[in-house]
Amino acid sequence: ANVAFGVDELHRYATGEGITVAVIDSGVSPNVRLPGLIGGGDYIGTTNGLQDCDHHGTLVAGIIAATPSESDGFVGVAPDATVRSIRQTSSAFEPVDKGPDAPDGGASTLATLARSIVHAANSDVDVINLSVTACYPTDEFVDTSDVAAALRYAVDVKDIVVITAAGNSDSESCSSNPGFDPANGGDPRNWDGVTHVSMPSFYSPLALSVGGTTLNGQAYTGTMAGPWVSVAAPAVDIVSLDPTKGDIGGLTNATVGKDGPRPITGTSFASAYVAGLEALIREKYPDLSATEVVDRIRNTAHTPGSGDRNLIGDGVVDPIAALTWSTADIRHAIAPPSRVVTPESATAPETLVRNIVILVVVGMCVTGLVVSVAHRTLREEHHDQAD
């Protein structure tokens, strides 16, 4: 995935120096290749965000900001950036065999998501990455006003770029939505066909929603399709820091589940790639607003055919173009969405309504230890396509 994203080439222009990225996720384990890692808070336990029981947030942070090593060819997109870890979700803290009437036992909710966004926004960060999502059917009422207000506060008041994973269509709650309906040409993103909502992607473009691609730039079919998807980035052949080998900075390209080792895939990691790119853009163009930074990503993306719009939005991210093109060179105009969701308030929510929608880390469901792989194997597998 690093090769597909052109990470090494990006470092000719910026490395993320002076930029702080908040990773709101399952926590990030300390790692020698994350020297700028700082604890930012914990809405699950008492670790200040520096514990990752799920082996997910560490993978995300590694893609964003891992430093290089002489023993392998991996490096994060913004290796000189600071990562502020905020633990907001963890499957390890969810109740076992929870009944329908049981109270919430520590798993993350939309309320803690909103709180974590506001907390990050007040913590002197430049970029917020949300590789978590909540999915629910459209016929179920869910109060998302606090998330909307938190996002607007972060973007419009604090001028922070917010990136989120579109979600994966690998569960009943995160069912994919249909694409373009030729019978309804006046609704090109098919809002009328939406059956399931992905949160916080629903509030795109406040949160830039990132779908996935394969290594050859095709739409990753595991993306939870929806009219809110903004752009797409690599979601397969993922390599990142091994959360269990932080003392030596080891790498991994697989996890162990109930069916054995499986490759790391998902839109969580596509989001991480774009978050790292946003950090580079903020370093190189410090006078750009959060909205202008997002516009560079969308305006330079490679436009898809209409059939893929709900999987990859405005197109596949072109990292070099987004980082280097002058404003005059950016001629691709973003097609306006057929509907725009506008939160009413840009004030940080003070009283947050508790919701029972449980958030999930959307890159994968980690049920076992991460599998370490040899450095030679890693370099070879960069050239293979995984789905």
**Radius of gyration of the CA atoms of the chain, in A:** 19
State phi, psi for 133 to the nearest 5 degrees: -150, 155
Separation CA 112–CA 190 (nearest Å): 31
Residue 323: how many other CB atoms lie within 10 Å: 22
Cβ count within 10 A of residue 178: 14
Active-site residue set: 25, 56, 268
Tell me the one-letter amino acid at 363: G
CA 364 distance to own-chain centroid: 12
CA distances from 43 to 30, 46, 189, 329 (A): 18, 8, 35, 43
Instruction: Name the token pair of 150.
Output: 């938190």
CB neighbourhood size of 382 (10 A): 17
Cα–Cα distance measured from residue 113 to residue 238, given in angstroms and rounded to the nearest whole number: 26
Distance (Å, rounded) from C-alpha 9 to C-alpha 5?
9
Give the residue among 294, 257, 252 at the shortest CA–CA distance from 269: 252
- Interhelix angle 145-152/110-121, rounded to 10 degrees, is 10
Angle at 120 between CA 117 and CA 124, to 5 degrees: 145
